[in-house]
A and B are shown apart, each in its own frame.
Chain A
Amino acid sequence: MLKKPGDASTLKLSLWRRAMNQAANAFAIGAAVLVIVPLMAIFVYLLIKGAGALNWAFLTQTPKPVGEAGGGMANAIVGSGVILGIASLVGIPMGIGCGIYLAEYGRGRFGDLVRFTADVLNGVPSIVIGIAVYSLIVLRQKHFSAFSGGIALSVMMIPTVARATEEMLLMVPNNVREAALGLGIPKWRTTLSISLRTASAGVITGCMLAFARVAGETAPLLFTAFGNQYWNKNPNQPTAALPLQIFTYAISPFDEWHKQAWAGALILIVMIVAAVAAVRITTSRGSLKGAS
């Protein structure tokens, strides 16, 4: 500093600068707190209200008609399982296949095109995917079904799984592939048993993230799976799903249903947090860390 430390103008300036610095610190800390508070609030409310309404009947019975106490969401929990199962069966192989293409073959212009469309698909609002699947399957079949719900969710899983698979495969060192090919192993076997296997921790992360993302999706199920008040064992018929049931109950005017909505939400969030936690555990063990 050229000016003497006691100089009035220096002092004023540094006071202002110091104050700005403190204000910025306070703002950043305040922002962090403000972001965490709703998260905490949501979890606290879920635990208090959800646990209060949760009981054995909730997990084992189907919904009771309006006005009757009791009943549960057993059919919705199972329905969600069926829909998510279909979604995973279709979406994960498709996503991994697409990821393999992007990493191992997709270096040309078509690869870029597929990469771009995967990103586009990732950004398509879920309700729009619902409309598309409605007109593809529901309109042709002329009825709602768990199957169409599963397809809608699988479409939403594909881009996440594909990009995760691609990223992870690109992290596999090339010497690993060369070593395998040098031993005379055909390319398909190298890709599946060597590259994909090496990248498996990260790929599993991607799949679980995709699963967690679609597990709570409601919008595309509104007019594909549609919901059902009764047990339904045929995946080709309208089927109840947990998020749908929560939605219906939450916007209803009945207190009894509100309680059930909280309990359903608690079950749903436990499922999703379990999936995310499983991701954390698998990635901390694997040699290739996931991108998340």
Chain B
Amino acid sequence: MNSPDPAEQTQNPMSAMPALAHAASERKPGVASSVLQRIRDTQPRSSRLPDAVFRLLILLTAVSVFAIVVFVVVELVDKSRLSLHQFGLGFFFGHDWDPVNDQYGAMPFIYGTLVSSFLALLLAVPLSVGVAVYVTEMCPIRLRAIISFLVELLAAIPSVIYGLWAIFVLAPLLRDYVEPFLAKTLGWTGLFTGPMYGLGMLAAGIILAIMIVPIIASITREVLTAVPQNQREAVLALGATRWEMIRMGVLRNARIGIVGGVILGLGRALGETMAVTMVIGNRPEVAKSLFAPGYTMASVIANEFSEATGDLYLSALVEIGLALFIVTLIVNALARLLVWSITGGTAGRARA
């Protein structure tokens, strides 16, 4: 029909469909797109105005999406100015969070966010990769759709319901069985000591892990599917077992994409609010033990924002939000670049 525009191809290399000639004609009328241009030129003048209006409206929605993000940044910077000015960089290293005396340091929250997120990754990454490998390489075709659907369903459960379940089911389970066991066997590490409430850093890490498994698993699945079939056949032909085929032929080829999926999961874990707020215990302390209650950046905003009375208090909370925004922005941009480099832009969307 018409030759694809090269610019189009770089944007969407995996798509097999022909380029949108009329879109290309907006910029550089070529041989192929000139047909559409001519069709357009023969149209009566009366239809040009509605077209222009339509185009303007559509452009307006696109601009407003851009404007929303700019607005969020401006608003966060503006509202946190007071705290930025007062504490400077020391804000992120201060250990005191004392609204009564107007002393604010974000260290306990940063620590809580990082520890709970990395704990979640530690648990979720092997599981998600395992599920993805099982679904793409091992399981019967009939099971494949069912398991994918169930994992997808896991992503559709609201955060607040995870939190509810964690408070009344997971936390008692941890308190009565898991934590005593961990204290007995791994207590010497210092990570599993102290009073066992059930609620605390460990519970937050576990619930976060459950929540990010679907994200990492679905991206890993897409990346694994993108590995060419002949890679598998080649390794198998050399006499490899199935595991060796998966390790050498599939996982090694897909590792960058998997890392992208993991970082995307990390982005979600860092910003997750409700479930964590409900189980982490909400105490601004840096404790080595995973049994101890903690606090995260997102939960302190959720708990204290609507009750923050002083200007400086509010400003400190917004600054935490700004830090959270910047970190998740970097993490997500990194993840998307990695995933795009593998699948060519079709899998970068997190369907949370």
Q: Please state if A32 and B130 are interface contacts (CB–CB under 8 Å).
A: yes
Partner of B51, one of A102, A136, A188, A243: A188
A 111-133 contacts with B by CB, 8 A: 111-114, 117-132
Q: Determine if B351 is an interface residue (Cβ-Cβ < 8 Å).
A: yes
Minimum distance in angstroms from A39 CB to a CB of chain B: 5
Q: Determine if A5 is an interface residue (Cβ-Cβ < 8 Å).
A: no
Q: Determine if B258 is an interface residue (Cβ-Cβ < 8 Å).
A: no
Which of B95-103, B160-168, B190-198 makes up part of the contact surface? B160-168
Q: Determine if B54 is an interface residue (Cβ-Cβ < 8 Å).
A: yes
Q: Please state if A31 and B39 are interface contacts (CB–CB under 8 Å).
A: no
- Total inter-chain residue pairs, C-beta < 8 Å: 322
Q: Determine if A76 is an interface residue (Cβ-Cβ < 8 Å).
A: no
| Complex Cα spacing A76 to B308, Å | 25
Residues of chain A within 8 A of B50, CB atoms compared: 186, 188
Q: Determine if B342 is an interface residue (Cβ-Cβ < 8 Å).
A: no
Interface size on B, residues (CB 8 A): 117
Q: Please state if A181 and B161 are interface contacts (CB–CB under 8 Å).
A: no
Of chain B, the residue at the smallest CB distance from A106 is B62
Interface string of A216-252 (1 = CB under 8 A from B): 1111001100100000000000000001001100110
Q: Please state if B333 and A98 are interface contacts (CB–CB under 8 Å).
A: no
A 99-116 contacts with B by CB, 8 A: 100-108, 110-114
Partner of B20, one of A104, A218, A262: A104
Of chain B, the residue at the smallest CB distance from A18 is B241
| Complex Cα spacing A177 to B40, Å | 12
Residues of chain A within 8 A of B324, CB atoms compared: 125, 127-128
Q: Please state if B17 and A174 are interface contacts (CB–CB under 8 Å).
A: yes
22 A–B contact pairs at CB < 8 A?
A20-B241, A23-B243, A29-B138, A36-B147, A38-B154, A39-B154, A42-B165, A45-B168, A98-B61, A102-B62, A105-B23, A117-B65, A125-B298, A181-B36, A181-B40, A182-B39, A219-B298, A219-B302, A250-B167, A250-B278, A265-B164, A291-B349
Beyond A21-B243, A32-B139, A136-B71, list 7 extra A-B contacts (CB 8 Å): A31-B134, A32-B130, A107-B27, A118-B65, A119-B332, A120-B332, A188-B54
